Amino acid sequence: MLLIDKLINIVPLKSATGIVNVKKGSFYLEGHFPDQPVMPGVFIVEAFGQAAAALTAHGIDPKEYKNKLVYLMSVDKARFRRPVTPDCELHLDIEAIRSHGKVWKYKGVAKINGKKVADAEWAATIVERNK
């Protein structure tokens, strides 16, 4: 379930912007809410995590990342400030705050047309993929 459509403005291991094209008919809008679709906050957080995982993958040795997954460990300070509705382009400005071994800490701000709609901090870890 890939939510991000592209990753731009990449500064390896530091920052990037993930783009999510929120479209009518997207599975995560079904029933949330009837006749007034809104992207659920949990999917905004998932998109933050996907953008951060892509940022991390862009910055480390491909051999190091082969057969690995990035797991979300914690989410802190998540705030949802405005509804995210269909037919918009959601920009996820991601910043790596720090890393220690295989654990990374990130923060992100989600915007539509330059207006903040959500923000959060989270931690993730890189683990071996089960074979």
pLDDT digits (tens, 9 = 90+) for 71-109: 999 999 999 999 999 999 999 999 999 999 889 999 999
Q: What is the pLDDT of residue 131?
A: 62
Say how far apart CA 61 and CA 40 lie, in whole Å: 34
| Token output for 92 | 């996820």
- Which residues are CB-contacts of 10 (< 8 A; sequence separation ≥ 6)? 16, 55, 58
Determine whether 100 is an active site residue: no
Please, which pLDDT band fits residue 61 given cuts at 50, 70 and 90?
A: confident
DSSP state of 87: S
Find the catalytic residue in 32, 58, 91, 100: 32
So where are the chain's domains? 6-87+106-128
Q: Which residues pair with 100 in a beta bridge?
A: 103
Q: Give me the torsion for CA of 86, 94, 115, 91, rounded to 10°.
A: -30
Supply the pTM of this predicted model: 0.94
* Pick from 65, 53, 42: nearest CA to 10: 53
H-state helical runs in the chain: 41-59, 62-65
Which residue shows structure tokens 């051999």?
63
Looking at CATH, the fold of the domain delimited by 6-87+106-128 is given as Thiol Ester Dehydrase; Chain A (3.10.129)
- Which residues are CB-contacts of 92 (< 8 A; sequence separation ≥ 6)? 4, 17, 18, 19, 20, 47, 48, 51, 108, 109, 110
The answer to whether the CB of 59 falls within 8 A of the CB of 95 is no
